[in-house]
């Protein structure tokens, strides 16, 4: 029977006989929950040690979360307890206290040891365990501190590459159930041992998202099916956060379009289909959500027909696209009915069968567009993004380009994917790169990590544009030279100026035109790169780079 003990202690780096791993603070209080074992060998070697600590010092950054381990117990140590009883004065020394608590006679301290299912602990404790804990130096906790050292960063294991990896995600109109579906997928697959369950609150975890009940930033989760390993991006559906949706969609190899069967396709449904096509998402699978709210099944057929027409309009195979009808909320709650768990299983099967495995550009030089940047205390600056091409390895020299005239030299200190360390990152992987010698404010979203000397930056380039019609969500009126929309290139966005040829007076909605684009900042570009132009909350044109123009 597994029994967890709560070790509550106070550690401080200001005293020579105590140590805190990962936090340079005068003192802090923390608790460590560990399985009670019959011997010191089991205690130190157990890979399933449920180690956790909680900092309660208000001066500490909340990002530290759980980095504190103690390799020595001293007079500052509190009791190993569940009842909260404070030790008597006669037990003030650790040797006396721990000798009494870990006596091999379990009946001597029934109030201190209790399992969740039994009133008292009756497992005998070896003398080696009590002896080790009766000294001020506990070797077992030194082993535990090494386990917590991994927790000090954000890696909790090593990524095992046993299946093909694909990046997919949920897109669609706000409130159609994208985040609920993401949570339901992790719940159903977690019950099958193929994922870690992420609740709705864990996916939309920022205070603003929880307050407003909408997704703002694209969130990443992982799961597996019998055939593939998936990285899943939950994209925001609100019109105000299409910029974040474009960033998420630019990393996808396929997508799940979520449409409410009760409401039908809405404005962001159309726009997300368009943007998915523009950033190169090859296939979509449709999940008709909220089927439990629909009373008339004929309406569902009309919704399906309308969505298929939309897909065909934007050059997706509308007639062949698989549709799965269900209720993400019912599946999340464990419903085994018609619209519950089985629909999630059918959806994953459709993704396996319909979304093709992309050809990875593994033999080309490294390119990683930066999606987000964060700073980990005690570690350094981490840039996250999807490996567009090439491979990356720890201790490899790279350049950070974009946003400035000269590239920034850097080195990859470590690689991680979904909180697991990577020996090498391959094309298609969604990775976090720990950058050596780089400050947090030196890297921004939209910059690109690349092989030294490979990437070139440009402020001007020639492009072919397709101007969207009004019925496609574009402009009602034409635009002229010196038009200034927002350009979305890879994961970045910036203001730009469009200059039309002298022979072209204006660009009408529906026209295909050649033009010159001048960006506000230098950006890594190459021939054939796709981009989008947006203005006033709508996508007005899509384009492709035909010729980067070096500055004279």
Tokens coding 93? 């020394």
Q: Extract the tokens encoding 396.
A: 């490899």
According to DSSP, the residues that pair with 210 across neighbouring strands are: none
Cα–Cα distance, 98 to 478 (Å, whole number): 81
Q: Let me know how long the chain is.
A: 552
42, 227, 238, 342: which one is catalytic? 238
CATH 2.40.30.10 in the chain, residue ranges: 367-450, 457-549
Distance from C-alpha of 126 to C-alpha of 528, rounded to nearest angstrom: 69
Q: How far apart are CA 307 and CA 284, in angstroms?
A: 11
* Nearest of 329, 384, 346 to residue 200 by alpha carbon: 329
Q: Could you tell me if 397 and 411 are in contact, meaning their C-beta atoms sit under 8 angstroms apart?
A: yes
Q: What is the spatial distance between Cα 178 and Cα 533, in angstroms, rounded to a whole number?
A: 25
The question of whether 178 is a catalytic residue gets the answer yes
Of 165, 173, 176, 178, the active-site residue reads 178
179 is catalytic: yes
For residue 311, give the H/E element and its range. Answer: helix 297-313
Work out whether the CA dihedral 186, 191, 195, 196 comes out positive or negative. Answer: positive
> What are the 10-residue block averages of pLDDT along the chain, 552 residues in total?
42 36 38 40 35 35 34 34 40 39 35 33 38 37 41 52 80 84 89 78 58 57 86 64 51 86 86 79 90 87 92 88 92 88 92 87 87 83 88 89 85 83 83 86 88 89 88 84 90 89 88 90 88 84 88 71
Contact 80, 6 (CB under 8 A): yes
DSSP run (H or E) holding 179? helix 178-191
Note the pLDDT of residue 246. Answer: 59
Q: What whole-number distance in Å separates Cα of residue 374 and Cα of residue 394?
A: 18
β-pair partners for 30: 9
C-alpha–C-alpha distance, residues 528 and 403, integer Å: 21
Compute the distance between CA of residue 545 and CA of residue 206 in angstroms, rounded to an integer: 36
Cβ atoms 314, 279 nearer than 8 A: no
Distance CA 84, CA 48 (A): 26
> What residues does CATH 3.40.50.300 cover in the chain?
165-354
Examine the residue annotation and report whether 547 is marked as an active-site residue of this protein.
Answer: no
Alpha helices in 455-528 (DSSP H): none
| Token duo for residue 44 | 């130190």
Residue 484's pLDDT is what? 92
356-384 burial: b if 16+ Cβ within 10 Å, else e: eeeebeeeeebbbbbbbbeebbeebbbbb
Which residue in 234, 185, 187 sits closest to 209, CA to CA?
Answer: 234
Please, what CATH class does the domain formed by 165-354 belong to? Answer: alpha beta
Judge contact between 289 and 307, C-beta under 8 A: no
pLDDT at 307: 93
Strands 512-524 and 492-499: antiparallel
| Catalytic residue selected from 175, 292, 335, 424 | 175
Tokens of 282: 């090859």
Please tell me the CATH code under which domain 367-450 is placed: 2.40.30.10
Residue for token pair 């993704």? 351
492: enclosing H helix or E strand? strand 492-499
List the structure tokens of 254: 């396929």
* Structural tokens at position 392: 């990356």
Active-site pick, 179, 186, 225, 391: 179
Q: Supply the pTM of this predicted model.
A: 0.57
The structure tokens 């966005």 sit at: 493
Contact present, 487 and 517 (Cβ < 8 Å): yes
> Where do the H-state alpha helices sit in 254-296?
267-278
Q: What is the pLDDT of residues 364-373, one digit of tens each?
A: 899 999 988 8
Kindly state the helix (H) or strand (E) to which residue 548 belongs, with its residue range. Answer: strand 538-549
**CA–CA dist 232, 170 (Å, integer):** 8
**Active-site annotation holds for 234:** no
Domain 457-549: top CATH class: mainly beta
In degrees, to the nearest 5, what angle opens at C-alpha 60 toward C-alphas 57 and 66?
85
SS3 of residue 544 by DSSP: strand
């Amino acid at each position: 029977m597994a029994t967890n003990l709560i070790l509550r202690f106070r550690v401080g780096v200001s005293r020579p006989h105590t140590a805190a791993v990962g936090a340079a603070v005068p003192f802090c209080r923390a608790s460590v929950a560990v399985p009670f074992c019959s011997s010191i060998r089991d205690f130190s070697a157990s890979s399933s040690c449920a180690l956790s600590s909680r900092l309660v010092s208000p001066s500490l950054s909340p990002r530290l979360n759980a980095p504190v381990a103690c390799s020595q117990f001293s007079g500052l140590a509190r009791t190993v307890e569940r009842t909260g009883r404070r030790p008597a004065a006669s037990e003030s020394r650790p040797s006396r206290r721990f000798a009494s608590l870990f006596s091999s006679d379990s009946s001597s301290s029934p109030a201190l040891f209790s399992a969740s299912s039994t009133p008292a602990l009756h497992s005998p404790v070896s003398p080696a365990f009590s002896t080790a804990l009766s000294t001020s130096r506990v070797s077992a906790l030194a082993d535990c501190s090494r386990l917590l050292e991994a927790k000090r960063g954000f890696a909790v294991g090593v990524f095992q590459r046993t299946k093909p990896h694909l990046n997919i995600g949920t897109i669609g109109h706000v409130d159609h159930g994208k985040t609920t579906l993401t949570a339901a997928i992790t719940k159903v697959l977690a019950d099958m041992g193929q994922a870690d369950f992420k609740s709705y609150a864990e996916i939309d975890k920022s205070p603003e998202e929880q307050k407003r009940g909408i997704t703002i930033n694209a969130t990443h989760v992982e799961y597996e099916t019998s055939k593939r390993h998936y990285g899943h991006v939950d994209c925001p559906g609100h019109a105000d956060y299409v910029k974040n949706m474009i960033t998420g969609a630019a990393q996808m190899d396929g997508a799940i379009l979520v449409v409410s069967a009760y409401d039908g396709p809405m404005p962001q449904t159309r726009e997300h289909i368009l943007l998915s096509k523009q950033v190169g998402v090859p296939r979509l699978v449709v999940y008709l959500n909220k089927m439990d709210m629909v009373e008339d099944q004929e309406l569902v057929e009309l919704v399906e027909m309308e969505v298929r027409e939309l897909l065909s309009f934007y050059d997706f195979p509308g007639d062949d696209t698989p549709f799965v009808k269900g209720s993400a909320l019912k599946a999340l709650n464990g419903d085994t009915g018609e619209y519950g768990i089985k629909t999630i299983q059918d959806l994953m099967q459709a993704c396996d069968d319909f979304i093709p495995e992309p050809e990875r550009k593994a033999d080309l030089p490294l390119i990683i567009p930066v999606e987000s940047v964060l700073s980990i205390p005690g570690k350094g600056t981490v840039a996250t993004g999807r490996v567009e091409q090439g491979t990356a390895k720890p201790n490899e020299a790279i350049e950070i380009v974009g946003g400035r005239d000269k590239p920034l030299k850097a080195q990859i200190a470590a690689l991680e994917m979904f909180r697991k360390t990577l020996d090498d990152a391959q094309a298609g992987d969604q990775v976090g790169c720990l950058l050596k010698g780089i400050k947090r404010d030196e890297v921004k979203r939209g910059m690109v990590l690349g092989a030294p000397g490979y990437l070139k930056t440009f402020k001007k380039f020639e492009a072919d544009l397709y101007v969207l019609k009004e019925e496609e969500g574009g402009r009602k009126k034409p635009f002229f030279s010196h038009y200034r929309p927002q350009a979305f290139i890879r994961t970045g966005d910036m203001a730009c100026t469009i200059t039309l040829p002298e022979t072209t007076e204006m660009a009408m909605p529906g026209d295909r035109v050649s033009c010159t684009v001048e960006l506000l900042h230098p950006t890594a570009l190459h021939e054939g790169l796709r981009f989008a132009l947006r203005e006033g909350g709508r996508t007005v044109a899509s384009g492709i780079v035909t010729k980067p123009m070096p500055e004279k």
